[in-house]
Structures are given as structure tokens and as C-alpha cells.
Amino acid sequence: MLRGKTALVTGSTSGIGLGIARALAAQGANIVVNGFGDADTIANIERELQAHGVATMYHGADLSRPPQTEDLVRAAESRFGRVDVLVNNAGIQHVAPIEDFPVERWDAVIAVNLSSAFHTIRMALPKMKQANWGRIINIASVHGLVASVQKVAYVAAKHGLVGLTKVVALETATTGITCNAICPGWVLTPLVQKQIDARAARDNLGADEARRALLGEKQPSLEFVTPEQIGALAVFLCSPAADQIRGAAYNVDGGWTAQ
Ligand code: NAD
């Protein structure tokens, strides 16, 4: 379905971003990989994606730095002509009550989880408009829709990302470009494993118990969402069936926000 098209997936060296990159490559899209990781891991990811008969490139932009973010989009365009599918997925978390929240962590979470999407979108849109086709998919979170304690920067950034999604959807409404957000609940990735480890240490729990406690608090299905499920939704949003899905914030959360 996406043969000949190019997808840039930020933060695709791990977790959800890697799941989305795999799903888009399986549909034939060339993939621009971004995110941190050692050279061997990144080479393995590129090889695995290329097995779908697609071309890949890696760019290690640190998305907390706007000039590097601009360079990421420019490099993708100079290699592949344009970015057809832009997935803003890179994100970080920091957990602390607001009065103890380090100012530097606030700035970092806002920069990576929110501002980087502003920069990639403003950079990639002109070429999408020339082609009159594009898909922008922002990986927000249930925390783009509801809040939790101790996540002030993350919740603010993700609510902001849902707002940004709606503005871009309106500004592109008469074009072949759509912009939507996906709002996952708990997905078992390194980002969440850190929170499980912290809970295990705090409450003196085993790994399984800490995992069950984390799910039990928020996610009624008591099961993790998987990167593959998020990847499949991203593929759907790229399909013609999704041409009129604009400015949506799709929760994929095991019932979290139904409560
Ligand atoms: P992860 O830690 O497994 O992956 C994060 C990716 O972002 C990695 O590739 C990492 O290298 C990259 N990254 C981090 N900082 C970066 C920076 N400054 N510049 C470039 N790349 C950077 O996390 P994940 O759980 O896969 O999260 C992916 C996205 O999904 C995030 O935006 C996160 O907020 C969101 N999300 C995750 C969950 C969950 O339960 N895991 C739930 C809802 C939303």
C-alpha cells in the first residue's frame, strides 16, 4: 500500500516507534530511522526493515535541539525527495511532584514530546502540500486526554500534542494531508519498564507483581497494548479508508479513558 512512499518515524530505535517502522516497512514504505542506540542495534534494525524490499536511512538527530530536528527532515528529503508519512513518536518521561520537578526535565520533556513535532511538521509540510498527499501521525498518550499525578510535564506536553494535531488537521483540511494523534495506554517498552522498576523498588514488589499493580491501577483490560497494535493503527491511518479522519485522537488504551 505504501510502496514508493517514505516514512520518517522519530524515536524508531525502540518500543512503539520501532513497531510502527516495522508495520510501515511491511507495507512497502522506505523508512527514515531516528533515535538513540548503539551502531550495531541500529544496523540490525535497518537490515530487518530492508528485508521488506525498502530503502532505509538513519539520522541520529537529538530532537531536543531544533537545528538537528530541521536537519533530520532536510536529510530525509534530500535522500528520498519528500516525507510522505511523518510519525512523531519520540518521547521521554520524568516522574516527580511538581514542587520537586527539575526545571531542566520540564524543558526536556516539552522539547522532545511537543516542540519536536512542531518543528518536523513545519519542515515537512511544504513538500507534502506540493504532492497533495501526506499522513502526519502524532503519538500522544492517554495522558493527552486525562491526567495522572507526578507527570506534569508529560501530561502538559501530550495535551499540547493533541491540540497541535487539531490545528494541523484544520490547516490541511482541504488537502490530501491528514493529521491525527494516537493515544496509547500502557505499552510494555523501556519507557514503562523504568516505571515498573521504580514501583517494585518503592513497594518492595516482585517484577510480575509490580507489572500487575501498574496495570490494575489504570488499565481495565489488565493487558498491555502492543507496539504491533499501534503499528497496525498507523497503517490504517495511512490507508484511503482514513482519508476523512482528521484531527482525531484515537485512544488505544484497554479501557483506561472509558472510566
Ligand atoms: P522508548 O523509550 O522505548 O522509545 C523512545 C524512543 O525515542 C527511542 O527510540 C529513543 O531513542 C527516542 N528518543 C528519546 N529522546 C530522544 C531525543 N531527544 N531525540 C531523538 N530521539 C529520542 O519509549 P516508547 O514507550 O516506545 O515511547 C514512544 C512514544 O510513545 C513516546 O512519545 C511515549 O510518550 C508514547 N507513549 C508510550 C506509552 C507506553 O506505555 N510505553 C504510552 C503512551 C504513549
Q: What is the pTM of this model?
A: 0.98
Backbone angles phi, psi at 34, to 5 degrees: -140, 155
4 Cα: distance to centroid of ligand 1 (angstroms): 27
- Domain of residue 207, residue span: 188-224
Q: Looking at the domain assignment, is residue 1 inside a domain? A: no
- Looking at the fold, whether 245 and 152 belong to one and the same domain comes out as yes
Is 218 a domain residue? yes
Say if residue 216 is in the same domain as residue 254: no
- Determine the residue of 137, 143, 187, 229 to mutate for testing ligand 1's pocket, defined as the one with the most ligand atoms within 8 A of the Cβ atom: 187
The low-confidence residues of the chain, meaning pLDDT below 50, are none
Q: Are residues 90 and 208 in the same domain?
A: no
| Residue 12 CA, ligand 1 centroid: distance in Å | 8
Ligand 1 site, residue 41, Cβ cutoff 6 A: no
pLDDT at site 8: 99
Residue 213 and residue 146 share a domain: no
130 close to 82: Cβ distance less than 8 angstroms: yes
CA distance 229 to 251: 12
Give the integer Cα–Cα distance in Å for 135 and 167: 14
142 vs 136: CA distance, rounded Å: 18
Q: Is residue 51 part of a domain?
A: yes
Give the distance (Å) from ligand 1 centre to CA of residue 216.
22
Does 232 lie in the same domain as 214?
no
182-237 tens-digit pLDDT: 999 999 999 899 999 999 999 999 999 999 999 999 999 999 999 999 999 999 99
Residue 166: inside a domain: yes
Residues taking part in catalysis? 154
Domain count, the chain: 2
What pLDDT does 100 receive? 98
Same domain, residue pair 42 and 142: yes
User: Does any domain span residue 171?
Assistant: yes
Same domain membership, residue 127 and residue 67? yes
3-class secondary structure, 1: coil
Asked if 131 and 142 sit in the same domain, the reply is yes
